[in-house]
């Protein structure tokens, strides 16, 4: 008896379920499960024994051909996130919200490559040739000798790529428009997304072309998100940023050919995405910290130190349940810091609304930011200004102790490079000396509270 050729697939995470349900128990998304016709089954019925295979060649660990050189776009922020340029024959997924700038950045990258003499192809399934040309004109790239195609059928795309000479780099914009003629399901479904991407990734490996796949991140099911193909590609880059800010961060979350957690920072302008080579200046704010509640966190993003302003506002609540609102910050982490301040240093915020915001639309994920957040909260609560030019970092433990964090020296050097004068960090055996930077160590949140109080006294003496 042949089984019905359909399955229930979550469009958010790709999990296959035996029956339909309103909520995917794999990823928790609601209304994301859709019935899809199953793909073409592999030859042989289920349970049949495997045909006898041919034996492969066994080789040692050394030897092999030298790696081909990387394909460098010249857009430094992009090349660094990719691990030093794109690797020939690799598949890269570039995900992000619609409108964040994926098409813009990739058109710019291809134009740079084309001007250097690489054969590159931009396949757009979303925009007509005229639209892509208009964008190129707006970005002043129309002279670049790159090739365009508008195809969505994977077989046609593969035939087009081979037409006259193999491209060094191909952009597919976007994977959600692709469809493979051997799959019955609709374009944008998990089966189509997987089958079409797989065909392109296989092409990349066989022909040595770097294939860059664009994927939109979707909030609500319906069309499958790039998560579904993350495991199939070599490198996964996500474009982050707030539509309200002109800054965009490209972050490597997986890379078989380079470090992860590396970021590239761009600024959106009418000429496209411009590299921001000194992002600390950007996220540090104006440097005029005349208001209470602002603290500078000396963070690390991959191999790169980054100074980021953390802003807190603590105010009397008029609500029964005070508000806790965060932007760019984990709300559980804020709750923990408030609890530790209360339990270990007697700082109470139970009746206050608390807002915590990271400047510039950036997201901070490092526990090392705890101390800066605590300092900003104390500063707002007591109305004391943290002196401009103070960098703060350290992780807060539940005990109230401050733990030292990695790459202390890089963080301090960045602070010094940007003209800061003082750093407040965890006490530890190895505090590197950095010229021109006064270092103050704190062992516990109680020490931090004492430091904040001493700042307040210092100010009132001057006043
Ligand atoms: N014609 C235009 N003039 C000015 N800005 C534009 C124009 N078209 C797009 N943009 C800007 O570029 C941003 C990025 O667009 P795009 O690269 O198409 O994003 P994505 O490919 O990620 O959906 C848009 O949000 C918009 O702010
Ligand atoms: Mg686009
Ligand atoms: Zn799911």
Cα within 13 Å of Cα(221), Cβ side: 17
Name which residue leads in pLDDT, 430 or 76. Answer: 76
* Paired tokens of 152: 């969505």
Residue nearest to atom 4 of ligand 1 (CA): 270
Q: How far is the C-alpha of 444 from the C-alpha of 234, rounded, in Å? A: 43
Q: Is the CB of 74 under 6 A from ligand 1?
A: no
Please name the fold of domain 281-462: Ribosomal Protein S5; domain 2 (3.30.230)
Q: What is the pLDDT of residue 462?
A: 40
Q: Pick the closest to residue 189 from 218, 161, 155 (CA basis).
A: 218
Residue nearest to atom 26 of ligand 1 (CA): 99
Q: How far is the C-alpha of 185 from the C-alpha of 176, rounded, in Å? A: 13
- The ligand minimizing its distance to the Cα of 21 is 3
Q: Is the CB of 418 under 6 A from ligand 1?
A: no
Which tens digit of pLDDT belongs to each residue from 7-29? Answer: 899 888 888 998 999 998 988 88
Mean pLDDT of 259-280: 88
Q: How far is the C-alpha of 33 from the C-alpha of 7, rounded, in Å? A: 10
Q: How far is the C-alpha of 323 from the C-alpha of 376, rounded, in Å? A: 17
Q: Quick check: 120 pLDDT over 90? A: yes
Mean pLDDT of 179-204: 92
Q: Is the CB of 99 under 6 A from ligand 1?
A: yes
Q: State CA 127 to chain mean position distance.
A: 25
Task: Count CB neighbours of 327 within 10 A.
Answer: 14
Instruction: Read off φ and ψ for residue 140, nearest 5 degrees.
Output: 60, 45
Q: How many helices (H) and strands (E) does the chain have?
A: 10, 21
The residues, any chain, with a CB within 8 Å of residue 328's CB and separated by 6 or more, are 357, 358, 361, 362, 363, 364
Task: Count CB neighbours of 431 within 10 A.
Answer: 16
Q: Is the CB of 193 under 6 A from ligand 1?
A: no
Which tens digit of pLDDT belongs to each residue from 360-372? Answer: 778 898 999 999 9
Task: Count CB neighbours of 426 within 10 A.
Answer: 23
Burial 171-187 (b: 16+ CB within 10 A, else e): bbbbbbbbbbeebbbeb
The partner residues of 86 in beta bridges, in order of sequence, read: 71
* Paired tokens of 96: 């992000």
* Distances in whole angstroms, Cα of residue 389 to Cα of each of 294, 298, 432, 456: 11, 11, 18, 16
CATH tag, 76-276: 3.40.50.300
Name which residue leads in pLDDT, 32 or 124. Answer: 124
Q: How far is the C-alpha of 7 from the C-alpha of 23, rounded, in Å? A: 15
CB burial class (10 A; 0-12, 13-18, 19+) of residue 94? Answer: buried
Share of the chain above pLDDT 90, in %: 60
Give residue 124 CA to ligand 2 midpoint distance, Å.
9
């Amino acid at each position: 008896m042949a089984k019905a050729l359909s399955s229930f697939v979550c469009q958010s995470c790709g999990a296959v379920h035996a029956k339909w349900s309103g909520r995917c128990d794999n990823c928790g998304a609601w209304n994301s499960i859709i019935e899809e016709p199953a793909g073409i089954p592999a030859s042989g019925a289920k349970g049949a024994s495997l045909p006898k295979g041919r034996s492969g060649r066994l080789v040692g660990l050394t030897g092999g051909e030298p790696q081909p050189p990387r394909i460098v776009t010249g857009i430094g922020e992009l090349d660094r996130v990719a691990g030093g340029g794109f690797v020939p024959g690799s598949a890269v997924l570039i995900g992000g919200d619609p409108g964040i700038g994926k098409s813009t950045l990739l058109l710019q990258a291809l134009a740079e490559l084309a001007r250097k003499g690489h054969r590159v192809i931009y396949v757009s399934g979303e925009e007509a040739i005229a639209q892509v040309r208009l964008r190129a004109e707006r970005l002043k790239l129309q002279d670049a000798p790159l090739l365009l195609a508008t195809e969505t059928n994977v077989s046609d795309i593969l035939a087009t790529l081979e037409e006259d000479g193999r491209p060094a780099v191909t952009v597919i914009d976007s994977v959600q428009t692709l469809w493979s003629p051997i799959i019955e399901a609709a374009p944008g479904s998990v089966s189509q997304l997987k089958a079409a991407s797989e065909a392109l990734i296989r092409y990349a490996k066989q022909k040595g072309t770097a294939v860059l796949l664009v994927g939109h991140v979707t909030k609500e099911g319906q069309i499958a998100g790039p998560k579904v193909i993350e495991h199939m590609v070599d490198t996964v880059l996500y474009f982050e940023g707030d539509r309200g800010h002109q800054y965009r961060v490209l972050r490597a979350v997986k890379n078989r050919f380079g470090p992860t957690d590396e970021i590239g920072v761009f600024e959106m302008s009418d000429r496209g995405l411009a590299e921001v080579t000194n992002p600390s200046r950007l996220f540090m704010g104006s440097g005029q910290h005349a208001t209470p509640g602002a603290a500078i966190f000396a963070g690390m993003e991959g191999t790169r130190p980054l100074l980021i302003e953390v802003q807190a506002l603590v105010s009397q609540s008029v609500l029964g349940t005070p508000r806790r609102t965060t932007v760019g910050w984990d709300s559980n982490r804020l709750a923990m810091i408030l609890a530790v301040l209360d339990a270990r240093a007697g700082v109470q915020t139970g009746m206050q609304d608390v807002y915590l915001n990271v400047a510039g639309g950036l997201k901070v994920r490092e526990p090392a930011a705890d101390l800066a957040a605590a300092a900003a909260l104390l500063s707002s609560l007591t109305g004391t200004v943290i002196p401009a030019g103070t960098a703060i970092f350290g992780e807060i433990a539940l005990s109230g102790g401050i733990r030292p964090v990695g790459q202390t020296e890089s963080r301090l050097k960045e602070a010094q490079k940007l003209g800061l004068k003082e750093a407040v960090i965890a006490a530890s055996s190895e505090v590197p000396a950095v010229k021109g930077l006064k270092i103050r160590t704190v062992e516990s949140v109680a020490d931090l509270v004492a430091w904040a109080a001493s700042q307040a006294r210092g100010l009132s003496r001057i006043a």
